[in-house]
Structure 1
Amino acid sequence: MVSKKIIAIVVVIAVLAVGVGVWANGSASTDDSLNGQEVNLAAAASLKNVFDEKLIPMFEEKYPGVKVTPTYASSGDLQKQIENGLDADVFMSAGNKQMNKLVNESLIDNSTNIQFLENKVVLIVPKDSDLNISSFEDLKNVDGNIAMGDPSSVPAGQYGKEVLTNLGVWDSVESKLSLGTDVTAVLNQVAQGSAECGIVYSTDAKSNDDVKVVCEAPDDALKTPVIYPVAELKNSEHQDATQKFMEFLKSKEAKDVFVEYGFTIHE
């Protein structure tokens, strides 16, 4: 018969093994002070897939007591929502214009504001399209709708307008534009065939098998790279969890996921 002493030793060894396994894998935090906290994330629509599919589940596994609640929209819409009192702890924009506006209004903790990711502007068509275009300049010959984000509020639209203007074709395509409220809407127009072609980010094109990339915007057609800044809101009510989330985004494991989804880490 197995003695109680031997049983006790086996139990202790098992507990220690589990503890070492958790420590080695880094799968969960034991910081109980974070339990019950949440992080309200306001992020550009082009970030939805990477956050929903990978990064939020990874963070919540690492910190089981913390819940991340995302709000996705165009960066311009998110800027306005934050100005109007949206409960947000972290803002990740697809352009500096919107972030800088909030900084100037003292809504952002500018000490946390970093230039984080880069993206590319691309021209897409439905996957089965036989449209004969190979460059942004060819858009002047398109008869149907050209989908693009609204330049007044959508960074992808602002970049798209800059590309078309610098390439000298804006005036000839403006009347053909079908303006979307965010890049997801533009992507769907092209994927569903309601637009002949569209202008989105390369990461958006990569996320949808119903579209194909015609070309990438020439580097000299944009004054600055497509930058995604990220920062904490100044009046965050969940500062401990928010700081952990920001640390997580800057970790190698999170950066590797962004790269997997087609982003470039801005150095």
Structure 2
Amino acid sequence: MSRLRIGILMAVLVVLLAGCSNHQKGTEGSGTDPTEKVELHISAAASLTDALDDFKKTFEKEHENIELTFMYGGSGKLATSIDNGAPADVFLSASKKDMDTLEDKGLLDAGTRTDFTKNALVLIANEDSDSAVTSFDEINPSAFDHFVIGEPDSVPAGRYTKEVLEHLKLWGPLQDKLVLASDVRQVLTQVELGNADYGVVYSSDAFISDKVKVLAESDSSWHEPIVYPGAVLKDSEHTEEAQVFFDALQGEQGQEALAKYGFK
């Protein structure tokens, strides 16, 4: 075979090998391996802790390719963290205000926002308390030492509580009695431990504790409606899987899990 023919064949071979290599790289770089597990980061209000931890078991069993990681806290602080770039695929808020903040900044995946559950506000005391109070308007600031609530600026339950106390003209008289907590579960814990005479939490929080008793439920007209909006976040790298999770939470099994823990 002449040197010219050998040279031509070698050149053709190099071109073919390069083409195969580029095709392989293109195939490897397209799409996601369907067998690869996707981890979703869910930023959720602290009051949802027990219901979501329960729902996680059912959801992951039925969606083996999705792993859920929850970050619980006060809705205001979670919204601030998301705004500052904290990784999250779904935000489940305990208040409209904190979800509005993210929506106004264009951080939600358009069209995914939905209210998925409701709650109520209750006045609680330690299980051993001998308090005779049966209504929020019976609270006597001079009759006790400590009243624990969520921080109104960052904890929705605290914000709703402030609205109730202002409506009843008790916000001012209670100022030297108030203890502010960073989320609603800290309020519950302080009352459970006996560190506060009274506290205000959601009915779902009181529902899961056998160390406190509910003295009264707030009139819903005394505060803004307690609705829980959720949404997929615009910067999520797994919007499809995030929507699958949020749809499931709004479905029969998700709503059963929420109802099981006192949500409405």
TM-score range, shorter chain: 0.7 to 0.9
Measure the CA separation in 2 of the matches of 1:94 and 1:153: 11
Greater Rg by CA: 2
Deviations 1:142-161 (A, max 9, x none): 32100100001100000000
Secondary structure, in 3 states, of the residue corresponding to 1:43? strand
In the TM superposition, 1:1-267 aligns within 5 A as: 33=34, 35-52=36-53, 54-141=54-141, 142-222=143-223, 224-264=224-264
| Mapped partners of 1:220, 1:51: distance in 2 | 28
What do you get for the CA RMSD once the two structures are aligned? 1.4
Residue 148 of structure 2 aligns with an amino acid whose one-letter code is A
**Gaps (5+ residues) in structure 1?**
1-31
For 1:244 and 1:140, how far apart are their aligned partners in 2? 48
Contact conserved, 2:37 with 2:64, CA < 8 A, in 1? no
Using the size of structure 2 for normalisation, the TM-score is 0.85
1:112 is displaced (CA, Å) by 0.4
* Residue pair 1:38, 1:241 contacting (<8 A) in 2 also: no
Letter in 2 for 1:91: F
Contact 1:38 1:69 in 2 (8 A): yes
CA distance in 2, matches of 1:66, 1:260: 24
**Alignment identity in percent?**
39
1: CA distance between counterparts of 2:170 and 2:148? 15
Residues in 1 aligned to 2:221 and 2:109: alpha-carbon distance in whole angstroms: 33
Counterpart of 1:152, as a letter, is D
TM superposition shift of 1:208: 0.8
Aligned pairs, number: 232
Question: Contact 2:146 / 2:197 at 8 angstroms: preserved in 1?
Answer: yes
Q: Give unpaired runs (5+ residues) of structure 2.
A: 1-32
Measure how far apart 1:81 and its partner are: 0.7
Q: Residue in 2 aligned with 1:7?
A: none
- How far residue 235 of structure 1 moved from its aligned partner, in angstroms, is 1.0
Letter in 1 for 2:37: G
Deviation at 1:133, TM superposition (A): 1.7
SS, match of residue 171 in structure 1: coil
How far apart are residue 140 of structure 1 and its match?
Answer: 2.7
The answer to whether the 8 Å contact 1:115/1:230 transfers is: yes
8 Å contact 1:149–1:180 — kept in the other structure? yes
The 8 Å contact of residues 88 and 233 in structure 2, kept in 1 or not, is answered as yes
Deviation at 1:247, TM superposition (A): 1.7
CA deviation profile, 1:29-65 (whole Å, cap 9, x unmatched): xxx726321211000000011111x111111101112
Helix, strand or coil: the match of 1:46?
helix
Give the SS at the match of 1:173.
coil
SS at match of 1:262: coil
- Please give the alpha-carbon distance, in whole angstroms, between the structure 1 residues aligned to 2:43 and 2:104: 18
- Could you report, residue by residue, the CA deviation over 1:53-104 in whole angstroms, capped at 9, with x for unpaired residues? x111111101112110110000011011101111100000000110000001
The separation in 1 between residues aligned to 2:97 and 2:86, in whole angstroms, is 19
- Aligned residue in 1 for 2:23: none
